[in-house]
Chain A
């Protein structure tokens, strides 16, 4: 798999504000997965995107896969303190090997 670059690396928001993290790749991705890791916890699978231009929603979370399949984004509407953690976008190669970046660490001030 190809490692994807993720920005920003850190983000502080006030509770209720929106939050977006972006992933970019120089090459076309076959898929993108998103994981969340709470402080001191383990990664938890959120979603997988496969199709060009795909948009999926989970409550306040919206995931997008770019038309060219080279970028993806995660948008959280009206953040809550429970959203605190590090969000990783991950590319899974054909061999199922996940290549992880640094993720985006989200802090939410109550």
Chain B
């Protein structure tokens, strides 16, 4: 079955580069979430979309982070001028109308 997919699975960026991470949620899921997970930690909420509307972006750590979901399906998380502290796994999750969230495999970002 089609679950949540994310691409790329791994990304190495030099400090200062911009990156774009893609999330394809489960078809029909109205809610989409982005999380950042550092090694040994639980996921930390970044932002939440309901369809194309970004309802909560309180977790975005700085204005270098930007997320969009223009047509209410695929979402992109963009990080500008990457820094070493941005190195983490970025998880995307989607859900229908319940609280149950389905996670993608994540994108492991390493900033060198």
Contacts and interface: CB of A to CB of B under 8 A. Distances in A.
Interface string B81-112: 00000000001010100111111111000000
Contacts of B41: 102
B91 A97 contact: no
Dominant SS at the B interface?
A: strand
B48 A102 contact: no
Interface residues of B, number: 24
Contact of A96 (B31, B40, B102, B104): B31
B99 A48 contact: yes
Contact of A98 (B101, B102, B106): B101
A96 B48 contact: yes
Interface string B36-75: 0000111111001000000110000000000000000000
Contacts of B35: 100
Interface stretch (A17-25, A38-46, A55-63, A75-83): A38-46
A103 B99 contact: no
Given A42-B105, A42-B106, A95-B55, A100 B100 contact: no
B105 to A, nearest CB: 5
Nearest to A43: B103
A66 interface: no
B56 A95 contact: yes
A99 B99 contact: no
Contacts of A101: 42
15 contacts: A31-B99, A33-B99, A33-B100, A42-B105, A45-B100, A48-B98, A48-B99, A92-B99, A95-B55, A95-B56, A98-B33, A98-B43, A98-B45, A100-B42, A100-B43
Interface of A: 31, 33, 41-45, 48, 88, 92, 95-103
Which 7 A-B pairs give the minimum distances between C-beta atoms?
A: A100-B42, A42-B103, A92-B99, A45-B100, A43-B103, A100-B43, A97-B45
